[in-house]
Amino acid sequence: MTIQNPKPSDGKRIHGVYWLHLPEHTDPFTQGYVGITHRKSRQKEHRDSRRIPSGFIFTVLAENLTRFEAATMEWEHRKERNIGWNTKKGGGKFIRALMASGASPNV
């Protein structure tokens, strides 16, 4: 089964994948927080959060992605709960179900 991926030129929002981490962190697959957003204000929202330690670095891992591409990348970084500062699995319910079914996304 292959899922077709809408491209940003189709009028969909452009998304990015980011990594919040401390200066000593070196591995986005095991440390810090990985998330996706289409809002530029997301970094400030994390700065105001009590759950993320202060003094973190905001690193963009990828940008100009569709929601599907961003969710797939987040899932790759957070396949399980409680990795780094993330408490939930990445990718949202749709991507988790897709990956669990063994489907191959066409991204």
Cα 6 to Cα 70: distance, rounded to the nearest angstrom: 12
Q: Would residue 38 count as lying in a domain?
A: yes
Cα 69 to Cα 67: distance, rounded to the nearest angstrom: 6
Structural domain boundaries enclosing 44: 15-102
**pLDDT for res 31:** 98
**pLDDT for res 45:** 62
Q: Would residue 3 count as lying in a domain?
A: no
Under DSSP, the state recorded for 81 is: S
Structure tokens at 73: 């990348």
- Give residue-wise pLDDT tens across range 20-60: 999 999 999 999 999 998 876 665 666 667 778 888 999 99
Where is 100: in which H helix or E strand?
A: helix 92-100
- Give residue-wise pLDDT tens across range 82-91: 999 999 999 8
Q: Would residue 5 count as lying in a domain?
A: no
- Give residue-wise pLDDT tens across range 74-83: 999 999 999 9
**How many domains are contained in the chain?**
1
**pLDDT for res 34:** 96
